[in-house]
Amino acid sequence: MMANQVVFYLNIDPERYLSYYRGEVSKVSVMSVDGRRVEFPASRLRPFVAAGGVSGLFALRFDENNRFLEMVKLDKI
């Protein structure tokens, strides 16, 4: 069975990401490509941080009970 997912774009520059890293901001709020707003812990971004910050197309995936499974970076929708 395919997991439920929310697909969204992110573009967070390195300076802005520091506020997440330091714990000054604990949650990220994004608008998905299909118009849903979703909020998730900023700690989910850590695996995706690069010198230029965090950017790209991502998906949050959930099980059938809407529990978080994983966050992945996508090549395309």
pLDDT at 3: 65
pTM for this prediction? 0.87
pLDDT at 18: 86
Q: Tell how far CA 2 is from the center of its chain.
A: 19
pLDDT at 41: 93
pLDDT at 77: 72
Count other C-beta atoms under 10 Å from residue 20's C-beta.
21
Strands 54-62 and 4-12, bridge-based pairing: antiparallel
Domains identified in the chain and CATH numbers = 4-74 (2.40.50)
Q: What residues have CB less than 8 Å from 28, skipping those under 6 apart?
A: 10, 20, 39, 40, 41, 42, 44, 45
Count other C-beta atoms under 10 Å from residue 59's C-beta.
17
Per-residue model confidence as pLDDT tens digits over 27-42? 999 999 999 999 999 9
Residues of the chain with pLDDT under 70: 1-3
pLDDT at 76: 81
